[in-house]
Amino acid sequence: MLFDTHAHLDDGRFDKDRDEAISQCKQDGVELILNAGSNIETSVKAIALSKKYEFIYASVGVHPHDAASMDEETAGVLAALAGNRKVRAIGEIGLDYHYDLSPRDVQKQRFIEQIDIARQLKLPIIVHDREAHGDVMDIFKKTRIKEVGGVLHSFSGSAEMALECIKLGLYISISGPVTFENARKTVEAVKQVPLDMLLIETDSPYLTPVPHRGKRNYPGYVRFVAEKIAEIKGISFEEVARQTLENGKRLFGIEE
């Protein structure tokens, strides 16, 4: 009944037990997973996983960390990879001003270019935004993002920003940090965002929620994110699971 809308099961931390971890997801109530690419190599791996497991879908994209290595050839490869039937989004793409592993002007250029690819292919985008809220919002407005659609994954902005994004037709995805003690800003965003515009995710193997914080994250732990949202909104876990599943299927065009 749960949809983990953002995981990285291709990550090396799953190399020793990937098949076992994926099998356990089903036992833990995870009905669907979207495995997000972050460069060409991981995008190819995401597609391979989606072909092996019917309930896993993929996205393809170049993360801002790798923006400096992206060129015209990369854009062509991404467009070709996106032709696979299990690819449902362009991402994760965006801006990361925390690590600044690529120059900021290059990050912005590659973000805009990949939004254009998504527009041409009629796919939504999965947005990585870390400490770059202002520039992300500026790019949304410049690129008429409402015509593209997408989601801000592992949302870390304010409730006000979340509501602005919803006006632009973008979903807000909540991950493990909502369970942390210092999550006041994210909790307020969850209160303000209507349930029909929320998604849930793990960002596995990162951002493990309480009570497993400090361990490797995995898609089955998305349950704890849903439980926290239910607590914040004063509704049942079942309602959160059902609605976020439907929201994810709607955004990513999954009809099963």
Q: List domains and CATH numbers for the chain.
A: 2-252 (3.20.20.140)
* pTM recorded for the entire structure: 0.98
What pLDDT sits at residue 154? 98
Instruction: Measure the CA–CA gap between 197 and 172, rounded to whole angstroms.
Output: 6
Predicted pLDDT of residue 78: 96
Question: What digits encode the pLDDT tens for the residues 168-224?
Answer: 999 999 999 999 999 999 999 999 999 999 999 999 999 999 999 999 999 999 999
Residue 89 has pLDDT above 90, yes or no: yes
Helical (H) or strand (E) element with 139: helix 133-142
- Determine the pLDDT at residue 256: 73
Q: What pLDDT does 226 receive?
A: 98
Contacts 24+ apart (CB under 8 A), 83-86: 84/47, 84/50, 84/58, 86/47, 86/50, 86/51, 86/56, 86/57, 86/58
What is the C-alpha R_g of the chain?
17
pLDDT > 70 fraction of the chain, expressed in percent and rounded:
100
* CA atoms of 165 and 80, how far apart (whole Å): 29
Higher pLDDT, 154 or 72: 154
Write out pLDDT tens, residues 14-61: 999 999 999 999 999 999 999 999 999 999 999 999 999 999 999 999
User: What pLDDT, on the 0 to 100 scale, is given for residue 72?
Assistant: 87
Q: Each residue of 63-86: pLDDT tens digit? A: 999 999 999 899 999 999 999 999
Percent residues over pLDDT 90 in the chain: 99
CA atoms within 13 A on the CB side of 36: 30
The token pair at 89 is 């989004």
Segment 225-252, tens digit of pLDDT: 999 999 999 999 999 999 999 999 999 9
**What is the C-alpha to C-alpha distance for residues 23 and 26, in angstroms, rounded to an integer?**
6
What pLDDT shows up at residue 64?
98
